[in-house]
A and B are shown apart, each in its own frame.
Chain A
Amino acid sequence: MGALTCSSRKRGDDFFTSNYRTPLSVSSNVDHISKKPRFSPSMNQIQGDPLSRKSIAARIFKYPSNITPIKREIHAPCRRLRSGSNLNSHKMGNFLTQQYDRAKRSAFETLRYVKKDKEVINIDDDEICEEGVSEDSSVKELGSGVDAKRGLASGSGQRWKESNGVVETMDNPDGVKDVDKNFQVLSPSVVTVSDGVNLKVENAEKMLDTLSLSSNFDSAYSSSSVPPYKKLLGLAEKRNGNLKRLQFDIGYTEKVLETQHLLRPQKNEEYVKEDVITEPFVLLDEEEEAEVSRALSNSCRRKVLAKHENSNIDITGEILQCLSPGAWLNDEVINVYLELLKERERREPKKFLKCHFFNTFFYKKVSSMPSKSNLHFKVIQLLARLQYSCLISGKGGYNYQSVKRWTSQRKLGYCLFECDKIFVPIHKQVHWCLAVINKKEEKFQYLDSLGGRDQQVLKVLARYFIDEVKDKNGKDIDINSWKLEFVEDLPEQENGYVVREYLFLN
């Protein structure tokens, strides 16, 4: 096998040695099955001898393009013989390991090359061949661990896998380095043939040689093989560095993830704690403010922002806009707010007085004319306003029948008479007022932010209250002692009707 690598002047000897050696080695290997396949390529090499006779320059020129593909093709079958799992490992497509393999192989080839230059060693090698075979395991141990494994693994697929796996990628550079050292040891040992260590190393190299299935063109770069090997070694080392960096990156990202996972639940707990703290007035953060401004913007005019099931009122952006300063209040806003107040009272009945809230249309209804005239309702109201006496007498703006069914116990769930306060929001064309039937303090209150005094409202309400109690409870109530109060100390000229209502509840 060394014949191919020899220089031209020693070619004859080389040929002889190769010829001489082959039968011997074959005979020595008869009992050793694993070694058989090694020699078939070696024979091929001898046949391919003429190829190596090309000029060195041409060989160097050819080197990069020719060598790699052919090497692979030739190697494939032999490896299959050695271990069945070889194919699988290639199929797995571990690109890096393939690269390492190639680099290693080239390194081994160069080694063998150097060895071939020293013919004397070759002869010794042949002589010791028998010993070498017997000492296979020890020799391999001298070489790189992975390669030794490969040699031993001839039968067992698992080991091969290990060597091809990640472990190998880690070990490979070391192995290559080991071989490198061996090579350095060898070069001075040309003279000292008898050195046992060197012989062993040679044996190891021989083993490696056969393992790597030297190609026909191995001899082509006899003298020029060192630089590419170094190149490949450098490349491999670079890749090793990259791998290490990647591994570090992976570890780093994993740790970051872990820390993030650790941080997240803590944040959630904080949020929960914040939610638990319920202050009556909390400043809105930026997000909430943005949401509010979006809800009040023109783009949300038609969008239903909230739905109040109890009063069947949908709050759209348009309706909410009437809450902006300077805008007029809508009946829907007031009605929803009154419903909310009622709900609050239902939630905590002990905290608040028992109240009833009529909606904004109650007063309109109760003060409407019972007559079925075809006059426009505004005209009727105008007439009613002019004739106070008529209103009280029931001829004009008082119609209990129209609101009789509004306060049935079945509907409300409670009797109106039980209530401490009855709130009647009053709409006066363009102005909102509030009348309160204060049963607790036995008075009728009228609240007008403009300081208006409307006796008629209170009279209508008084009459309504009498009728209501009579109708629902069957009692006559004396309200002559009740006072009519026009509450004066109000914050004037405000849209704060709702705010006042809030104050009154407390």
Chain B
Amino acid sequence: MAEGSRKFIKLKIKAQDDTILHFKVNPSTIMKDIFMSYSSKKQMMNYKVFRFFFDGKRLSPKKTVNELGLKNGDEIDAMIHQDGGGSACNY
């Protein structure tokens, strides 16, 4: 069991409001699964409203944790999508 637990990687996903959710994932987990569970925790139906970054680099949902080179304790930034126009804004 000790070996099995060592295989898991602990990831943090930080929202824009600095709230952090902790995930314990298998290295072979596809990022999409992590994103989806995060979205469901945030009561979002679609994980695509979030953009996930690690050190400023966008994370592909199709790759696994291992492929992206994520290590134990890495912090992922979850940013909500941005929209903006020039013509209809009041700011």
Q: Indicate which residue in A368, A405, A452 contacts B18 across the interface (CB closer than 8 Å).
A: A368
Q: Indicate which residue in B77, B81, B89 contacts A331 across the interface (CB closer than 8 Å).
A: B81
Once A360-B82, A431-B85 are accepted as A-B contacts, the answer to whether A369 and B18 lie under 8 Å apart by CB is yes
Q: Complex Cα distance A8/B82, Å?
A: 115
Contacts of A290 on B, CB cut-off 8 Å?
A: none
Once A361-B51, A375-B17, A377-B16 are accepted as A-B contacts, the answer to whether A411 and B57 lie under 8 Å apart by CB is yes
> B30 on the interface (CB 8 Å rule)?
no
Most chain B beta carbons < 10 A, residue from A358, A407, A431: A431
Least distance between B91 CB and chain A CB atoms (Å): 5
Mark interface residues in B6-19 (1 if CB within 8 Å of A CB, else 0).
00000000011111
B79 touches A450 (CB 8 A): no
Segment at the interface with B among A97-105, A245-253, A422-430, A435-443: A422-430
B56 touches A449 (CB 8 A): no
Least distance between A308 CB and chain B CB atoms (Å): 9
Least distance between B61 CB and chain A CB atoms (Å): 8
A331 touches B82 (CB 8 A): yes
Contacts of B16 on A, CB cut-off 8 Å?
A: 364, 368, 377
Within 15-51 of B, Cβ neighbours of A (below 8 Å) are at: 15-20, 51
Contacts of B55 on A, CB cut-off 8 Å?
A: 405-406, 408, 411
Nearest chain A residue, comparing its CB with the CB of B54: A405
> A372 on the interface (CB 8 Å rule)?
yes
B56 touches A329 (CB 8 A): no
B85 touches A495 (CB 8 A): yes
> B71 on the interface (CB 8 Å rule)?
no
A403 touches B56 (CB 8 A): yes
B85 touches A327 (CB 8 A): yes
B84 touches A494 (CB 8 A): no
Q: Complex Cα distance A408/B56, Å?
A: 10
Nearest chain B residue, comparing its CB with the CB of A452: B91
Mark interface residues in A101-121 (1 if CB within 8 Å of B CB, else 0).
000000000000000000000
Q: Complex Cα distance A377/B58, Å?
A: 21
Q: Complex Cα distance A306/B51, Å?
A: 18
A407 touches B56 (CB 8 A): yes
A361 touches B84 (CB 8 A): no
Interface residues on A, range: 35 or more
Within 360-379 of A, Cβ neighbours of B (below 8 Å) are at: 360-362, 364-365, 368-369, 371-377
Least distance between B76 CB and chain A CB atoms (Å): 12
Mark interface residues in A370-393 (1 if CB within 8 Å of B CB, else 0).
011111110010000000000000
Nearest chain B residue, comparing its CB with the CB of A311: B58
B79 touches A431 (CB 8 A): no
Least distance between B17 CB and chain A CB atoms (Å): 4
Q: Complex Cα distance A302/B16, Å?
A: 27
Nearest chain B residue, comparing its CB with the CB of A330: B83
B86 touches A373 (CB 8 A): no
> B66 on the interface (CB 8 Å rule)?
no
> A225 on the interface (CB 8 Å rule)?
no
> A328 on the interface (CB 8 Å rule)?
yes
Q: Indicate which residue in A312, A369, A405, A496 contacts B59 across the interface (CB closer than 8 Å).
A: A312
Once A331-B51, A497-B86 are accepted as A-B contacts, the answer to whether A365 and B59 lie under 8 Å apart by CB is no
Once A359-B56, A362-B56, A493-B86 are accepted as A-B contacts, the answer to whether A431 and B91 lie under 8 Å apart by CB is yes
B85 touches A329 (CB 8 A): yes
Least distance between B51 CB and chain A CB atoms (Å): 6
> B5 on the interface (CB 8 Å rule)?
no
> B88 on the interface (CB 8 Å rule)?
yes
14 pairs across A/B with beta carbons < 8 Å?
A329-B84, A331-B51, A332-B51, A361-B53, A365-B79, A368-B16, A377-B15, A406-B55, A406-B56, A429-B91, A430-B84, A430-B88, A431-B91, A494-B87
- Supplied contacts A312-B57, A328-B83, A432-B85, 15 more A-B pairs, CB within 8 Å: A313-B58, A328-B84, A332-B51, A332-B81, A359-B58, A364-B16, A372-B20, A375-B17, A377-B15, A377-B17, A406-B55, A431-B89, A450-B86, A493-B86, A493-B87
Closest 4 CB pairs of A and B: A406-B56, A312-B60, A377-B17, A328-B85
